[in-house]
A and B are shown apart, each in its own frame.
Chain A
């Protein structure tokens, strides 16, 4: 280590003599899925060529819950090995103390981004992270199958159920025993919170905890929405869906074994890859709406950001890296190669982007329906709130009690957790 430092020091002094900026060794952690890591590497190579810094990627498991546990541990221990963290949109309020304030560094670029996203990363006036891309899920559907059975794209969950069932039965009768109607993320983890929030919200059942902190989850519309989803398991969705995260559902979908899938935009580019069984056979639409009062299509707001650890040994270079990853150039590449949604409004009208991912034009509409998870009102309790919620939903999906029973218990648990205030 000392030798390494010495070498770095020597190299640095050489470059200093040469008149160039000091080269830093940086490390970034990322739990990206699919081809995300390879893409990140290709961008970092550019960064290295531009600045002379070297950047190491530390890969992490793709489950956001797993990543969060690890990051929290590292940050609590004041880990200096990691300079830049890729952070989920919901983490800002929980990790705000451990990251550097980027308000000043990013003053010149914040205006390019969607204000709502910048706001989600601002905690008590401190800009915790810069947005790298945003995310809102969509309904992926098989154009070839819908055409074959003369069906239109479902706009309500009831239509989806009906269409899925009919096509699934038809395809099975023709010999494809592995055919399913709908796959989503049903494992007991953060992803289920996103899925279930959409069911509940699209059925007029509120958003678990409202912006003012009131616990709203125990209502009839919410219960009806969760009960409906429980009815899918074993009928239009495989029972194994209870253990699926994003990648497992994409696995089933990309083998051509499902009519519909709820997933994030990253699955679009991968689904059109050369090794995909559904290449050019699918399209995306906003998620269906429910039929309760106030029902509308709802999409959970996701997205990833880059934050700089306050324990970084070279904060200046680290901030430079964070700004690079949030820059329009990288976001454009990302949109084209990874079908990740840019957080920069202007890119939605960019010709190159729209040519590579024509579906992005529709995403403005999905964006308008985007629902934030209740991470802002519940603050540091968010993870526990989310865990209680996904457990209640997972119990219902697995057949342990009805939605009404489980949501009533959930309300009691949340009230206990809230105590005198979040």
Chain B
């Protein structure tokens, strides 16, 4: 009884002290964060708000400042015809837009899934001890280090139907009987884009997963080995659960990237309806078609869709960015 009162009595001022310290720290942190927040507001916040604003106007590139507010007209508007039928117009009923949304989602889901699996395999290999591991680790990063424009051009030539090396190799191996028009045919255009993207970003995935793998203490595996646990079981029971936080973060980074994919598709298969993504379509409307407001509406929806996907992913995957599971 006495000890209890004593301990509470002693704890009370200490807690107060600590919260005072915490308050100071939080205040200091706020000051330190301020420049970054200000920079973000200028380079990200302001353009974002302006895009959203433009999406509610009839702005055109030749006359950005003379635009008028038209409400949700770019998203959805309707006219009632004399016969009484209602005709809907605008982004929300634009088949080109929904085709782009579908392309983007398909691209994001397939590329990120394949990259996660391949990245995991590469990471496991690189985590093993073997001679020349350092060189291999560096070498595997090369695709990631090449700028996308350059790698897209490079692959564009490699995938060229008449003088491309891919067709040449496949023909010589006897795997195909006639040259495939990889980027031209709507059946293979998406596959071509996926191949290049997977080639390019698997190293990034592998690197993030490798960092996670190296955090796993070795003694767990030693204990498992003494108990005679099969290596495959070790992977699913030890490695996977422990590397999960790192894997989830890696996937979310890639997913955000994949949802706004632009450069690769713009260079490799520009204008192909089979691969046109939301960003490509938004750019086309913004600059090529002089539909600046309509393109802004697309950018705004793109932003909302990415935000929604991220929230969904975090919620469903219970990802926590401070490490560990919820």
B290 CB–A CB distance under 8 Å: yes
- Tell me the smallest distance from the CB of A196 to a CB of chain B, in Å: 14
Encode contact with A along B128-142: 1 for CB under 8 Å, 0 otherwise. 000000000000000
* CB pair B271 A187 closer than 8 Å: yes
A72 CB–B CB distance under 8 Å: yes
Using known A-B contacts A383-B289, A387-B288, determine if residue A248 contacts B160 with beta carbons closer than 8 Å.
yes
Using known A-B contacts A239-B181, A252-B162, determine if residue A63 contacts B290 with beta carbons closer than 8 Å.
no
Interface size class of A (residues with CB under 8 A): 35 or more
Encode contact with A along B55-73: 1 for CB under 8 Å, 0 otherwise. 0000011101000000000
Per the 8 Å Cβ criterion, residues 275-303 of B in contact with A are 283-284, 287-291
Per the 8 Å Cβ criterion, residues 207-252 of A in contact with B are 238-244, 248, 251-252
* CB pair A391 B273 closer than 8 Å: yes
* CB pair A188 B272 closer than 8 Å: yes
A143 CB–B CB distance under 8 Å: no
B64 proximity list for chain A (CB < 8 A): 76
* CB pair A384 B289 closer than 8 Å: yes
A162 CB–B CB distance under 8 Å: no
| B contacts with A, residue count (CB < 8 A) | 28
Encode contact with B along A401-422: 1 for CB under 8 Å, 0 otherwise. 0000000000000001000000
Give the docked Cα–Cα distance between A387 and B64 (Å): 23
A144 CB–B CB distance under 8 Å: no
Encode contact with A along B9-37: 1 for CB under 8 Å, 0 otherwise. 00000000000000000000000000000
* CB pair B181 A189 closer than 8 Å: no
Give the docked Cα–Cα distance between A66 and B162 (Å): 24
Give the docked Cα–Cα distance between A257 and B179 (Å): 14
Give the docked Cα–Cα distance between A421 and B64 (Å): 22
B52 proximity list for chain A (CB < 8 A): none
A186 proximity list for chain B (CB < 8 A): 184
* CB pair A178 B162 closer than 8 Å: yes
Give the docked Cα–Cα distance between A387 and B181 (Å): 22
- Tell me the smallest distance from the CB of B197 to a CB of chain A, in Å: 18
Per the 8 Å Cβ criterion, residues 156-194 of A in contact with B are 178, 186-189
B183 CB–A CB distance under 8 Å: yes
A384 proximity list for chain B (CB < 8 A): 288-291
* CB pair A383 B160 closer than 8 Å: no
Give the docked Cα–Cα distance between A383 and B184 (Å): 22
* CB pair B161 A76 closer than 8 Å: no
**Nearest A residue to B156, CB-CB:** A243
* CB pair A240 B289 closer than 8 Å: no
Give the docked Cα–Cα distance between A244 and B163 (Å): 12
* CB pair B160 A63 closer than 8 Å: no
Q: Is the interface of A mostly helix, strand, loop or mixed?
A: helix
Using known A-B contacts A65-B271, A187-B271, A251-B163, determine if residue A241 contacts B184 with beta carbons closer than 8 Å.
yes
Give the docked Cα–Cα distance between A16 and B286 (Å): 45
* CB pair B162 A69 closer than 8 Å: no
* CB pair A243 B183 closer than 8 Å: yes
**Nearest B residue to A398, CB-CB:** B186
Give the docked Cα–Cα distance between A132 and B181 (Å): 36
* CB pair B161 A189 closer than 8 Å: no
A251 proximity list for chain B (CB < 8 A): 162-163
* CB pair A239 B61 closer than 8 Å: no
B163 proximity list for chain A (CB < 8 A): 251, 255
* CB pair A243 B181 closer than 8 Å: yes
A103 CB–B CB distance under 8 Å: no
* CB pair B288 A65 closer than 8 Å: yes
- Tell me the smallest distance from the CB of B219 to a CB of chain A, in Å: 56
Scoring B60, B179, B273, B288 by chain A CB atoms within 10 A of each residue's CB, the highest score goes to B288
* CB pair A76 B162 closer than 8 Å: no
Q: Which of B62, B179, B184 interacts with A242 by CB under 8 Å?
A: B184
* CB pair A189 B186 closer than 8 Å: no
Using known A-B contacts A94-B290, A239-B185, determine if residue A395 contacts B61 with beta carbons closer than 8 Å.
no
Give the docked Cα–Cα distance between A384 and B288 (Å): 8
* CB pair A239 B161 closer than 8 Å: yes
- Tell me the smallest distance from the CB of B307 to a CB of chain A, in Å: 26
- Tell me the smallest distance from the CB of A389 to a CB of chain B, in Å: 12
Give the docked Cα–Cα distance between A166 and B52 (Å): 59
**Nearest A residue to B283, CB-CB:** A69
A76 proximity list for chain B (CB < 8 A): 61-62, 64
A178 proximity list for chain B (CB < 8 A): 162
A35 CB–B CB distance under 8 Å: no
A97 CB–B CB distance under 8 Å: yes
A73 proximity list for chain B (CB < 8 A): 61, 287
* CB pair A398 B289 closer than 8 Å: no
* CB pair A238 B61 closer than 8 Å: no
* CB pair B288 A383 closer than 8 Å: yes
A337 CB–B CB distance under 8 Å: no
B270 proximity list for chain A (CB < 8 A): 63, 65-66, 188-189
A381 proximity list for chain B (CB < 8 A): 289-290
B288 proximity list for chain A (CB < 8 A): 65, 68-69, 72, 383-384, 387
Give the docked Cα–Cα distance between A187 and B273 (Å): 12
B185 proximity list for chain A (CB < 8 A): 239, 242, 398
Give the docked Cα–Cα distance between A189 and B61 (Å): 22
Give the docked Cα–Cα distance between A152 and B232 (Å): 71
* CB pair B287 A187 closer than 8 Å: no
- Tell me the smallest distance from the CB of B155 to a CB of chain A, in Å: 13
* CB pair B283 A238 closer than 8 Å: no
- Tell me the smallest distance from the CB of B302 to a CB of chain A, in Å: 18
Per the 8 Å Cβ criterion, residues 242-283 of B in contact with A are 269-273, 283
Give the docked Cα–Cα distance between A240 and B272 (Å): 13
- Tell me the smallest distance from the CB of B98 to a CB of chain A, in Å: 15
A51 CB–B CB distance under 8 Å: no
- Tell me the smallest distance from the CB of B283 to a CB of chain A, in Å: 7
Scoring A186, A189, A239 by chain B CB atoms within 10 A of each residue's CB, the highest score goes to A239
Give the docked Cα–Cα distance between A72 and B283 (Å): 12
Residues of A within 8 A of B (CB): 63, 65-66, 68-70, 72-73, 76, 94, 97-98, 178, 186-189, 238-244, 248, 251-252, 255, 257, 380-381, 383-384, 387, 390-391, 394-395, 398, 400, 416
- A239-B180, A240-B181, A391-B273 known; 13 other A-B pairs, CB under 8 Å? A70-B287, A72-B61, A76-B64, A189-B271, A240-B161, A243-B269, A251-B163, A255-B162, A257-B162, A381-B289, A383-B288, A400-B186, A416-B89
Listed A/B pairs (24) with beta-carbon separation below 8 Å: A65-B270, A66-B270, A68-B288, A69-B288, A73-B61, A73-B287, A76-B62, A188-B271, A188-B273, A238-B181, A239-B180, A241-B184, A243-B181, A243-B183, A243-B184, A248-B160, A255-B162, A383-B288, A384-B289, A387-B284, A387-B289, A390-B271, A394-B271, A394-B273
Residues of B within 8 A of A (CB): 60-62, 64, 89, 160-163, 179-181, 183-186, 269-273, 283-284, 287-291
Give me the 3 closest cross-chain CB pairs, A-B, nearest first.
A240-B161, A243-B184, A240-B181
